[in-house]
């Protein structure tokens, strides 16, 4: 049995001898035998199995010109060459449109970032307003006395504070909603104003 199998120097697998036999092209055969012409390609036994050989054979895609040259020199069968040419003719326009799609994707990503920056800026504005108002109330309450006029004012101020808090909460939610919509492919104006989406109600 050992004479009929061989171990590949590349992947280390032991396979039947047939897996190592490789039919050379006419050009390769001529080069190997140092002859100027040959009637048909010779078969050699490689140290690597067919799988490994095919994997390392070619890393660069062939151009149409290279395919035609290989067809003419006999390195590539006409049937195979024609199939490759036909496929290339069909996939080159597809590839071009893929490049355009990528370009569009890139532009879209830029657009989404602009939108996000704009919305984030507004959210921060509402956050700052809420925090600033809360801080100013804390100062006031320390100096406040005990009469009904001040109580009324306190009630107003607390309603206002509640409104600022609500606005900030809403702004965060609106931003999230708009970003979700934009990311799912919906067109959202990059300079959209969060306030346009505010609902009047309080918490
Ligand atoms: Zn191998």
What pLDDT digit, counting tens, does each position of 100-122 carry?
888 877 787 888 999 999 999 99
- The SS3 assignment for 6 reads strand
Q: How far is the CA of 45 from the centre of ligand 1 (A)?
A: 13
Q: How far is the CA of 10 from the centre of ligand 1 (A)?
A: 5
Nearest-angstrom CA–CA distance, 88 and 106:
26
For the cut 70, the answer to whether the pLDDT of residue 145 exceeds it is no
Lowest mean pLDDT among 46-60, 91-105, 110-124, 138-152: 138-152
Q: How far is the CA of 60 from the centre of ligand 1 (A)?
A: 20
Task: Confirm if 52 and 8 have CB atoms less than 8 A apart.
Answer: yes
Q: How far is the CA of 18 from the centre of ligand 1 (A)?
A: 12
Lowest mean pLDDT among 51-60, 147-156, 161-170: 51-60
- The SS3 assignment for 24 reads coil
Closest by CA position to 171, among listed 116, 127, 105, 115: 127
Lowest mean pLDDT among 24-38, 62-76, 88-102: 88-102
Q: How far is the CA of 42 from the centre of ligand 1 (A)?
A: 21
What's the whole-number average pLDDT of the chain? 84
Percent of the chain with pLDDT over 90: 28
Exposure of 17 in the CB half-sphere (CA atoms within 13 A) = 8
Q: How far is the CA of 194 from the centre of ligand 1 (A)?
A: 62
Which residues, by Cβ under 5 Å, contact ligand 1, an ion? 8, 10-11, 49, 52
pLDDT band at 1 (very low <50, low <70, confident <90, very high): very low
97 vs 134, higher pLDDT: 134
Residue 3: its pLDDT value, please?
66
Q: How far is the CA of 46 from the centre of ligand 1 (A)?
A: 10
Rounded average pLDDT over 181-190: 89
């Amino acid at each position: 049995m050992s004479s009929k199998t061989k171990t590949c120097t590349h992947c280390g697998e032991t396979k039947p001898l047939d897996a190592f036999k490789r039919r050379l092209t006419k050009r390769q055969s001529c080069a190997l035998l140092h002859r100027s012409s040959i009637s048909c390609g010779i078969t050699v036994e490689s140290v690597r199995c067919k799988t490994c050989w095919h994997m390392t054979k070619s890393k660069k895609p062939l151009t149409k010109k290279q395919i035609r040259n290989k067809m003419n020199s006999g390195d590539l069968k006409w049937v195979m060459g024609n199939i490759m040419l036909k496929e290339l003719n069909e996939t080159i326009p597809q590839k071009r449109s893929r490049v355009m799609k990528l370009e569009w994707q890139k532009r879209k990503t830029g657009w989404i970032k602009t939108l996000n920056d704009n919305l984030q800026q507004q959210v921060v504005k509402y956050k700052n307003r809420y925090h600033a108002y809360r801080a100013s109330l804390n100062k006031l309450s320390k100096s406040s006395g005990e009469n009904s006029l001040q109580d009324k004012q306190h009630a107003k101020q607390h309603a206002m504070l509640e409104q600022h808090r609500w606005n900030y909460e809403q702004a965060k939610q609106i931003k999230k909603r708009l970003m979700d919509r934009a990311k799912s492919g919906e067109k959202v104006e990059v300079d959209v104003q969060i306030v346009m989406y505010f609902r009047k109600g309080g918490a």
